[in-house]
Amino acid sequence: MGIDIATGFVWFVSFLFSTTVHEAMHALAAWRLGDPTAYNGGQVSLSPIPHIKREPIGMLVLPLLTAMTQGWAIGWASAPYDPHWANRYPQRAALMAAAGPVGNFMIAAAAFAAMRVGLGSGAFVAPDRANFETIVAASTGDGNFVTMLLSVLLVQNVLLGVFNLLPLPPLDGAAVVGAILPEPLASTLRQFGSNPMASTMGLLVAWQVFPGLAGPLFTWILRLVHPDAGYGPG
């Protein structure tokens, strides 16, 4: 069966928006904590353009390709920062790293709130069968684009936030751990994570571990949105 172009488009739009917010939050936190590198590069912005210019393959080409061929979007992005600043202030760098996933969780919370309002007003109903694109359904059948977008935003941002918090380099979680460590140890951990071999190994381990978390996370999302429903993920 071919990929639904409309579904792929929703995943791409959601990815572009969610990743832009993620990187803008990194850049904003760094700027407020003393590193203006990303601010000077224009990354403190909710426009995707400066982020696409920095990572055109990861922000545009790959997510568009996967969305239109696989039915879901994957890619990457980055915000520049001063490594000397990060080494000098590893705990500030940890807060900068945490800001990206926080942005994803904020989007997820907004989508969740919109779903609960829709369910409470009768505009949305629980679907007969839930999946990543259908956590809620329009009660009249005329708002399927809205319910699909909210569903994808909620699922994608929970998954993005949790994935990036895995404590493995080069993911944000490896730097976030530094917030609870003494500064010398946090600095040593950051320097280890900047090693290309460590980053490659970290990504390989993360891709092996995360699929086992995606199913339970989706079940948890369903229970939050529909606490009284008895169906499982589809």
pLDDT tens across 156-204, in order? Answer: 999 999 999 998 888 999 888 877 777 777 777 777 777 777 777 878 8
pLDDT in tens, 88-121: 888 888 899 999 999 999 999 999 999 999 999 9
48 C-beta neighbours (distance < 10 Å), count:
18
In the DSSP assignment, the letter for residue 125 is: E
CA distance 162 to 152: 15
Which helix H or strand E contains 137, and what residues bound it?
strand 137-138
Does residue 1 register a pLDDT over 70? no
Task: Choose the weakest-confidence range: 56-65, 68-77, 148-157.
Answer: 68-77
Residue 52 pLDDT: 97
Q: Which is higher by pLDDT, 234 or 58? A: 58
What is the structure's pLDDT at 170? 86
Q: Average the pLDDT over 193-216 and give the result.
A: 82
Q: What pLDDT score does 211 carry?
A: 86
pLDDT reported for residue 208: 86
Q: Distance between alpha carbon 219 and the CA centroid of its chain, in Å?
A: 18
C-alpha–C-alpha distance, residues 8 and 4, integer Å: 6
| 88-103 b/e (C-beta count within 10 Å ≥ 16 → b) | ebbbbbbbbbbbbbbb
- Looking at residue 99, its pLDDT comes to 97
Q: Is the pLDDT of residue 231 over 60?
A: no
Cα 75 from Cα 68, distance rounded (Å):
13
Q: How confident is the model at residue 4 (pLDDT cuts 50, 70, 90)?
A: confident
pLDDT at 233 exceeding the cut of 50: no
Report the predicted TM-score, pTM, of the whole model to 2 decimal places.
0.91
pLDDT of residue 230: 65
More reliable by pLDDT, 24 or 91: 24
Of 196 and 75, the structure prediction assigns the larger pLDDT to 75
The residue ranges of every structural domain in the chain are 5-225
